Chains A and B, each alone.
Chain A
Amino acid sequence: MNAVANVSRPAAVPMAAMPILQAKKLTVRFDGFPAVRDVDLAIADGELRVIIGANGAGKSTLLDLLCGKILPSEGEIWLRERNITGIGEAAIARSGLGRKFQTPTVFKEMTVLENLQVASNRRVRVFENLFDWLPSRPSDKEAAVAERTGLLGAINRRASELSHGQLQWLELAMVLSQDPKIVLLDEPAAGMTAAETDKTAELLLDLAGSHTVLVIEHDMAFVRLICRTITVMHQGAVLAEGTAAEIEHNPAVIEAYLGSAGLSHA
């Protein structure tokens, strides 16, 4: 238990509750090149944290580490009091970590309903599903999450017939129907119209209460809509952490991003 206490964080952020997700000295090297260096991260329960940074800052790699896609060279990942480093993607997902990818990855050949059914089924072992009969109509939970992401109308349509925005929402709906404790989102607003972006922001804010959300994003306008605490990453390391206002006045951040499109037109 003592590992949790001595975590050191660059900026003093008011710690409301015990951190639900913690990364300690997380490092990963690809043929020697450290994509992520000594990252310490602590996300509080129910918090909505955004991670920003230029391309190649290691944001996606960090997300891959957290959800188990890549094994860290050093460091650990803790979910509450459980060390979930390297227990495998499925186990991490089952312990409550949902991941949405940058390009919408859904089961295109299956209908929206089928996608949701696969996602919402919590009894994942083979023999539990062996002869478990498939309802042809959505359960209340599935209908609710479809309604929430505006897909109820298209419930029986094949995923390949949906628009890009709808696909993003479908993946989001699938992640939600895993009823995860933590939701990892990789640029959820990418490629969306202004209206769709606003709707997504609204959705994320609605989520913040019941779920912990960690978002990777470029678009500062979108970031401004949704977040409280921001973590800035630069060349694989955490450069600064704080509210949007603190970040913008932080000299190290400005120097690192002098003139970069990411922050200037805030």
Chain B
Amino acid sequence: MDERMKHRTATIAAYLLFFAVIFALPFFLNSFWTNRVATYLVYSICAVGISLSWGYAGILSLGQGLFFGIGAYMLAMSLTLAVPENNPVPELMLLNMQPDAVRDLCCVTPGSFLWIPFRSVAFGMIAAIVVPCVLAAGLGYVMFKRRTTGVYVSIITLAFALIGQLLIINNQPLTGGFNGLANLAWLEIGGFEFDPYGPSIYYLVAGTLLAVVLVSRAMLSARIGQVLKAVREDEARARYLGYDVENYKLFIFCFSAGIAGLAGMLFTLTAEFASPSLMATSFSISMVIWAATGGRASLLGACIGALLVNFVGSVASESPAFQPVWPIVLGGLFVFVVLVMPNGIAGIVKDLIGRSGKARAVGQEVYP
């Protein structure tokens, strides 16, 4: 029994250490680095979502950028309306409206009534999480009821995200098109204004990350975590034990979409803009890269992966020595991780802690 106990205490210690460092950082960083690390933490939340659906349920979604982007847009719409001169109608609609249109949200351009509920910031924040979940539920229901698995899921989600991006760019009078939404007010809750460069946003993001990780850990150590592991290993066997495997996959798919939406919302707070480029394929792929670098089946690994990759990417592109070659540094990091650390950074951390027992078949995951 002691081997399992040793493993559990080591994991808890790793989590405590990680979050201790994260919460202590703002005291050592200037306001720019506080904001930058806050953005990295937003990416970590995304990586946790991917690690959950991919690492624990075997669902690799290459369209997570869509849910992230929608989360960002929902809050951005609320924050746009919160800016005084955007009332009653946001500037982007004034510029694109027909000369004789009524200057009211209901009918200035076709579809502008959709903006009305976003007058309340609370609605924007809730929608940032609920809308991605609803979209994921719709797509997930059709996909999993048809028992789509493996690379088909990845390609369908990829195509779905591309459709989302195209539609947003194409409806400029409604969404601001390719430029997205800038000119946003700061989030204000109960009189307290969140300054993107101050520690307030940093702790909001760090706290959310902690909450997301804790809820996910609790879920994974509860029965559902066990069922998910079973589903990932042998879907048919789980089915013959009476489990509706599709519902479990759907739940995780929606849960990680909600996490992506939440991360998107926090991105809007730290970067103060939302643009369709968040839904691009390259961004969705980089999310998968962060989770993979960190070690797919570990939430902490995903966080570390996201922080490390973004940190190396930023620092390499800024230091004069690496500037002309920073994509090579990044590309080299990915190849290094896959060849030398098959289980990602988490694999290394586990090796260092010295888990007893034969090293798990290194990286041999049988993919359906």
Decide if A and B touch, CB cutoff 8 A. Answer: yes
In angstroms, Cα B237 to Cα A110, docked, is 13
Q: Are A134 and B226 in contact (CB under 8 A)?
A: yes
- Other-chain residue from B218, B223, B234, B245 in contact with A129 (beta carbon distance below 8 A): B223
Which 8 pairs from chain A and chain B are nearest by CB? A129-B223, A93-B242, A94-B242, A129-B224, A89-B239, A132-B223, A126-B251, A90-B244
Contact of A105 among B221, B237, B242 (CB under 8 A): B237
A-B Cβ contacts below 8 A, count: 83
* B interface residue numbers (CB < 8 A to A): 1, 4, 218-219, 221-227, 229-230, 233-234, 236-245, 247-248, 251
| Given A130-B224, A131-B222; A124-B229 close (CB under 8 Å) | no
Contact present for A105 and B234 (CB under 8 Å):
yes
A30 part of interface (Cβ distance < 8 Å): no
Contact at B1–A90, with CB atoms within 8 Å?
no
Tell me which residues across on chain A come within 8 A of B244, comparing CB atoms: 88, 90, 124-125
**Are A107 and B234 in contact, with the CB atoms below 8 A?**
yes
Decide if B239 touches A93 in the complex (CB within 8 Å): yes
Contacting residues of chain A (114-142) with chain B, CB-CB under 8 angstroms = 114, 117-119, 121-122, 124-126, 129-134
Q: Which residues of A contact B (CB under 8 A)?
A: 67, 69, 88-90, 93-94, 98-99, 105-110, 114, 117-119, 121-122, 124-126, 129-134, 156, 174, 178
A118, B239: Cα distance in complex, Å: 11
- Looking at the complex, which one of A67, A89, A110 makes contact with B229 (CB distance below 8 Å)? A110
Q: How far is the CA of A191 from the CA of B240 in the complex (A)?
A: 23
A110–B243 touching, CB < 8 Å: no
* Alpha-carbon distance between A114 and B225 when the two chains are bound, in angstroms: 11
Does B227 contact A129, Cβ atoms closer than 8 Å? yes
Q: Are B226 and A90 in contact (CB under 8 A)?
A: no
- Residue in chain A with minimal CB distance to B225: A134
Q: 7 more A-B contacts (CB under 8 A) besides A121-B223, A174-B241? A: A90-B243, A106-B234, A117-B226, A118-B230, A124-B242, A129-B224, A156-B4
Q: Is the interface of A mostly helix, strand, loop or mixed?
A: loop
Cβ-defined contact, A133 with B222, below 8 A: yes
Once the chains bind, are A126 and B224 in contact (CB under 8 Å)? yes
Chain B facing A: main interface SS:
helix
Q: Is the CB of B247 within 8 A of A114?
A: no
> Could you say which residues of chain A place their CB within 8 Å of the CB of B237?
105-107
Task: Looking at the assembled complex, report how far the CB atom of A200 sits from the nearest CB atom of chain B, in whole angstroms.
Answer: 20
Partner of A89, one of B222, B223, B234, B240: B240
A118 nearest CB across to chain B (Å): 5
Residue from the list A90, A110, A121, A124 in contact with B233, Cβ < 8 A: A110
Using A126-B251, A131-B222 as known contacts, say yes or no to A118 and B234 having CB atoms under 8 A apart. no
CB-based contact B239/A90 at 8 Å? yes
B222 touches A110 (CB 8 A): no
User: Complex: how many Å from CA A73 to CA B247?
Assistant: 27
- Pick 24 A–B contacts, CB within 8 A, sort by A: A69-B236, A89-B236, A90-B240, A90-B242, A90-B243, A93-B241, A107-B229, A107-B230, A108-B233, A110-B230, A110-B233, A114-B229, A118-B238, A124-B242, A126-B247, A126-B248, A126-B251, A129-B224, A130-B219, A131-B219, A132-B224, A133-B223, A134-B223, A156-B1
Within the complex, the shortest CB–CB distance from A158 to chain B, in Å, comes to 8
Q: Which residues of chain A are within 8 angstroms of B222 by Cβ–Cβ distance?
A: 129-134
Instruction: Tell me the bound Cα distance from A149 to B150 in angstroms.
Output: 36
Specify which chain A residues have a CB less than 8 angstroms from the CB of B242 in the assembled complex.
90, 93-94, 122, 124, 178
Q: What A residues does B239 contact at CB under 8 A? A: 89-90, 93
Q: Which residues of A contact B218 (CB under 8 A)?
A: 131
CB pair A109–B223 under 8 Å, yes or no, is no
Take A93-B239, A107-B229, A110-B233 as given contacts and tell me if A134 and B221 are in contact as well, using a CB distance cutoff of 8 Å: yes
A119 / chain B contacts, CB cutoff of 8 Å: 241
Q: How far is the CB of A191 from chain B (nearest CB, A)?
A: 19
Q: Which A residues are CB-close (under 8 A) to B226?
A: 110, 114, 117-118, 134
Q: Judge whether B245 and A90 touch: CB under 8 Å.
A: yes
Q: Which residues of A contact B248 (CB under 8 A)?
A: 126
Give chain B nearest CB distance to A114 CB in angstroms. 6
Q: How far is the CA of A26 from the CA of B327 in the complex (A)?
A: 62
Bound-complex Cα distance A107 to B226 (A): 11
Interface centre among B227, B236, B242 (most CB of A within 10 A): B242
Q: How far is the CA of A108 from the CA of B229 in the complex (A)?
A: 11
By beta carbon, the residue of chain B nearest A105 is B237
State in angstroms the CA–CA spacing of A124 and B222 once bound together. Answer: 13
